[in-house]
Structure 1
Amino acid sequence: MKRYLAAASAVAAGLALLLAPGAGAAAGNPYERGPAPTQASVEALRGPYAVAETSVSSLAATGFGGGTIYYPTSTADGTFGAVAVSPGFTATQSSVAWLGPRLASQGFVVFVIDTLTTLDQPDSRGRQLLAALDHLTQKSPVRGRVDASRLAVMGHSMGGGGTLEAAKSRPSLKAAVPLTGWNTDKTWPEISTPTLVIGADGDTIAPVATHSEPFYESLPAGLDKAYLELNGATHFTPNTSNTTIAKYSLSWLKRFVDDDVRYEQFLCPLPRPGLTIDEYRGSCPLGS
């Protein structure tokens, strides 16, 4: 009887471990966060983590204009990867704020920033994204929740151009996601950070033919990279909540910041054109 009870206890303990949040991580990848993803979970407005936020005043910021940090409230799964997000020309953090809680609820610390001025150019925005990541990992009140070795950048328009600048300047970044990016520099052969370029078929400010497409095509041939062209979209589509942007940005960040291969199913085989995707190009398999 005692032997039976001991065996039953062992089984129960094993089941409890498997069902715990982030449990799959211990078996193979210590950076996995959250349950196994599904089509519904990557398209959901919110993920499995409750989210809190804290503001960073421009007076407390060095090298950028302050912003808002969104982070999972749970500490049960350890630290999280982090991403800094820049707005575009003449815009403030509010224009891309929807990405904060959406990505944080999936298991990231997200710093949506204001820039020093709304007129900053891409090279300046790139430096500011990196300054924001430094603040996040070294000075912020949530620095203990962040794994400083797993960082990424995103940005819209000139912030997208700044995303490329940041990735070029800091090769240790794990992922970059420019959203309808704008930059006078069209070629990025120096980038070694896995990069998902997102453009819009109806963009007249940063047309894909002169911005997102050459950005993507100029990335090194052996790099993990992808190009997503949104269907029926404009330059300003990233300024409002968008399921397609969120789904593929999340999957890219999970795959390369968290090294979570469970999300590769949404990136490879390459997504097919449809109602929201005009075109998708990329390198598969990833991480090879």
Structure 2
Amino acid sequence: MQHSHVSSRRSRRVTRLAAGLAAAALGFAGLAAAAGPAAAADNPYQRGPAPTVSSIEASRGYYATSSRNVSSLARGFGGGTIYYPTTTSDGTFGVVAISPGYTGTESTIAWLGPRLASQGFVVITIATNSLYDQPASRGDQLLAALDYVVASNDIGPRVDRNRLAVMGHSMGGGGTLEAAEDRPSLQAIVPLTPWNLDKTWGDVSVPALVYGAENDSIASTSSHAVPFYNSLGGEKMYLELNNASHFAPTSSDVTIAKYSIAWLKRFVDDDTRYDQFLCPVPTSWTYLSESRGTCPLS
């Protein structure tokens, strides 16, 4: 198939001066020490050590994290919590905003905050302006939350304003589709058992990891997640959680976490070390009842 999204590649070339070998080696060592391990990597966005199944399934990743609250008076959304790596030596990080679903509070998706941040992202879990906000509103609020993080005086310097993603549960998942349609520069979206009255998203080419739940009686996969997935352009993957309900994303879930981490790493950080978890498409039938995908381009 024709892939409409190919992550950019950037390489670092070190100019070697025509001085003595000892002087050149010393100069290069000094440059690498000053730049830090992330900047010295072939991919300047690569963060953290090489991944393993254990590392992406763990409840916490490589980075120590901290958090701060966001006032409910924040412009465009209902406040929330920002989770971020404490280090300032690894360069900037991509940003992920996460919305709860219809009638859901921030607490229902809070587990994802520290889990993703510890893998090398700045994450904002939001409260919505109203518990009853529809997907279009939740999409706007996700974008407002991203803009808040980028513009903040304390967290803003830690982030890369060009590497942004959104996640959301239920109507929040439907909101990720709305956000991607409104802002096609997003690097990734992760709709979690999403709900939206609009079933066709052919103009959305942002890389999308769509989660369905086999026993979802609120946003059935046949009426929501699957039609969304089928209509999307660009890189995409669909994972259906085995024997799961609509509310599976509202509590800690290893399957949701591991593949979300891999997807965000692959498309927000351009980190091809995570291709191994996404291609071939996962078929662990203990945890999944169905799966399909385009496989990310390397």
Paired AA for residue 115 in structure 1: T
Equivalent residues, number: 279
Matches within 5 A, 1:249-288: 249-284=260-295, 286-287=296-297
RMSD of aligned alpha carbons: 2.4
User: Which residue of structure 1 lines up, in the alignment, with residue 84 of structure 2?
Assistant: 71
1:226 counterpart residue number: 237
- Give 1:242's aligned amino acid: D
1:84 and 2:97 matched: yes
1:4 counterpart residue number: none
Q: 2:249 aligns with which of 227, 238, 250?
A: 238
Please show how residues 13-24 of structure 1 align to structure 2 within 5 Å.
23=37
Q: 1:180 to 1:11 in 2, by over 3 A?
A: same
How far apart, in 1, do the equivalents of 2:38 and 2:54 lie? 19
Q: 1:51 aligns with which of 65, 80, 83?
A: 65
Shift of the alpha carbon at 1:16? 12
1:41 pairs with 55, 70, 82, which one?
A: 55
**Which of 213, 220, 229 lines up with 1:200 in the alignment?**
213
Query: CA separation of 1:251/1:106 partners in 2, compared to 1, >3 Å: closer, same or farther?
Result: same
Post-superposition offset of 1:283: 0.5
Contact 2:215–2:243 under 8 Å retained in 1: yes
2:13 counterpart residue number:
none
| Cα pair distance change 1:67/1:13, threshold 3 Å | same
For 1:148-187, what per-residue CA distance to the aligned partner results, in whole angstroms no more than 9, with x for missing partners?
Answer: 0000000000000001100110000000000000000001
* Alignment of 1:166 onto 2:179: yes
Pick from 184, 195, 212: which aligns with 2:197?
Answer: 184
Point out where structure 2 has 5 or more consecutive residues left out of the alignment. 1-20
- Could you report, residue by residue, the CA deviation over 1:203-242 in whole angstroms, capped at 9, with x for unpaired residues? 000000000000000012xx11100101011100000000
Q: Give 2:227's aligned residue.
A: 214
1:75-97 CA-to-partner distances (Å, cap 9, x unmatched) read 11011001000000001110000
How far, CA to CA, are the matches of 2:144 and 2:216 in structure 1?
A: 29
Quick one: distance in 1 between partners of 2:120 and 2:47? 6
SS in 2 for 1:23: helix
CA distance in 1, matches of 2:111, 2:275: 24
Counterpart CA distance in 2 for 1:287 and 1:85 is 26
Task: Using the TM superposition, give the Cα deviation of residue 28 of structure 1 relative to its aligned residue in structure 2, in angstroms.
Answer: 1.1
CA contact (8 A) 1:187 1:218 kept: yes
CA distance in 2, matches of 1:52, 1:96: 17
* Matched residue type, 2:254: T
2:143 matches 1:130: yes
Opposite residue 63 of structure 2, the aligned amino acid is Y
- 2: CA distance between counterparts of 1:17 and 1:49? 24
CA distance in 2, matches of 1:62, 1:54: 17
Same amino acid, percent of matched pairs: 63
- Pairwise mapping of residues 79-158 of structure 1 onto structure 2 (< 5 A)? 79-139=92-152, 141-158=154-171
- Deviations, residues 184-210 of structure 1 (Å, cap 9, x unaligned): 000100102100100100100000000
Aligned equivalents of 1:240 and 1:123: distance in 2? 24
TM superposition shift of 1:269: 0.9
State the shift of 1:26 in Å: 2.1
> Which residue type is aligned with residue 49 of structure 1?
Y
1:25 and 1:186 mapped to 2: Cα distance? Answer: 42
Residue of structure 1 equivalent to 2:11: none
Counterpart-to-counterpart distance in 1, 2:63 and 2:176: 26
What is the deviation of 1:104? Answer: 0.2
Alignment gaps of 5+ in structure 1 = 1-6
Scaled by the length of structure 2, the TM-score of the pair is 0.88
Q: Aligned letter for 2:191?
A: P
TM value normalised by structure 1: 0.91
Task: Confirm or deny: 8 A CA contact 1:17 1:23 kept in the other structure.
Answer: no
Kept in 1, the 8 Å contact 2:38–2:45? The answer is no
Residue 235 of structure 1 aligns to which amino acid in structure 2?
H
